[in-house]
Amino acid sequence: MYVVELQFECFDNTTLSRVDRAINGLMDDLRYNGQVLGREFPITIDDGVFRVRAVCPEKDSLHPKYNSEQVTRCIEKLSDACLLTPKIKVLGIDLNSEAAAEQSKPSWQVLYTTYVHTCSPLRSGDSLLPIPLYQTGAHLDGDYKALVKWQTEWQAFDEIQMANKSQPAIKMALDEIGEVDSELFSRGEKLRDQIESTTQIPTYYYLYRVGGENLESEINRTCPKCGNDWRVEEPLHGLFHFKCDKCRLVSNLSWNYQ
């Protein structure tokens, strides 16, 4: 990942509220297109130039060729706030982030995220590195907002269960990220279908697993959708102990027994 700075210059008198709406609107649409990562983008002003720092998946993530219709529209509307098209300055590699997958066409890919990740939820099945969303072409209504929203919700449930404070809340969260009859899974599976249909790459959905009666029953559990055996001989990337090619599901051995 790369840290970049967007520099917005004014060409006429304007107001802070107009600038705030214009810049934040653009950053939101860049985020929903997968071109910037995270949810907070501080804006500073220096000698009449507004500056925003963000993390991007790749060095050229903000190249216009990747812009969605929504991003292009926001850039065109910057003039309404008396702002010029932003100048982009790449500050360097973000040492705290994962590198993007080198190949956007892996042999298989998986929807996988956790509450500590801000990168793309679509991972290469070959390396488990994140694939920039704008590289896939698997957008809905022009961008990847639905997928980013799904990721945000998944991460919220993951953070709830990791906090380990309220048992009713933990059960609700675990049901959403670990059960195939949950509303979150239903939406995620539709997104998975869309991605696979568009990219023509086998795309899997990660089911979180914790709990269980004992190690033996966990090792021998079957696919929750089709009931077939789905255990793999060696854990994929040290994480996925189960993989169903029919249902396009992967999962881990319960964290209670690792």
State the Cα torsion 188-191-196-198 to the nearest 10°: -170
- pLDDT, tens only, 194-224: 999 999 999 999 999 998 889 998 999 999 9
Ranking 144-148, 164-168, 172-176, 229-233 by mean pLDDT, the lowest is: 164-168
Handedness of CA 34, 41, 57, 163 (dihedral sign): negative
d(CA 62, CA 56): 8
Q: What's the CATH number for 2-93?
A: 3.30.70.100
Q: Is the pLDDT of residue 257 over 90?
A: no
pLDDT band for position 105 (cuts 50, 70, 90): confident
AA letter at 90: V
- Residue 207: is it exposed, middle or buried by C-beta count within 10 angstroms (0-12/13-18/19+)? buried
Mean of pLDDT values over 143-172 = 92
Mean pLDDT of the chain: 93
Mean of pLDDT values over 223-234 = 96
Select from 124, 140, 251, 28 the least CA-distant residue to 132: 124
Rg (CA), the chain: 21
- pLDDT, tens only, 88-97: 999 999 988 8
pLDDT band for position 63 (cuts 50, 70, 90): very high
pLDDT band for position 104 (cuts 50, 70, 90): low
Q: Is 253 strand, coil or helix?
A: coil
Cβ–Cβ under 8 Å, residues 148 and 192: no
Q: Where are the domains of the chain?
A: 2-93, 109-252
d(CA 18, CA 15): 5
d(CA 109, CA 196): 9
pLDDT reported for residue 205: 98
Q: Is the pLDDT of residue 144 over 80?
A: yes
Longest distance between any two alpha carbons in the chain, whole Å:
70
- Residue 49: is it exposed, middle or buried by C-beta count within 10 angstroms (0-12/13-18/19+)? middle
Angle between helix 145-163 and helix 167-178 axes, rounded to 10 deg:
140
Distance between alpha carbon 141 and the CA centroid of its chain, in Å? 17
Give 12-75 as a DSSP string.
S---HHHHHHHHHHHHHHHHHTTSSBSS---EEEETTEEEEEEEESSTTTTSGGG--HHHHHHH
Q: What length does the chain have? A: 258
13: left (phi over 0), alpha (psi -120 to 50) or beta: beta
Mean of pLDDT values over 48-62 = 94
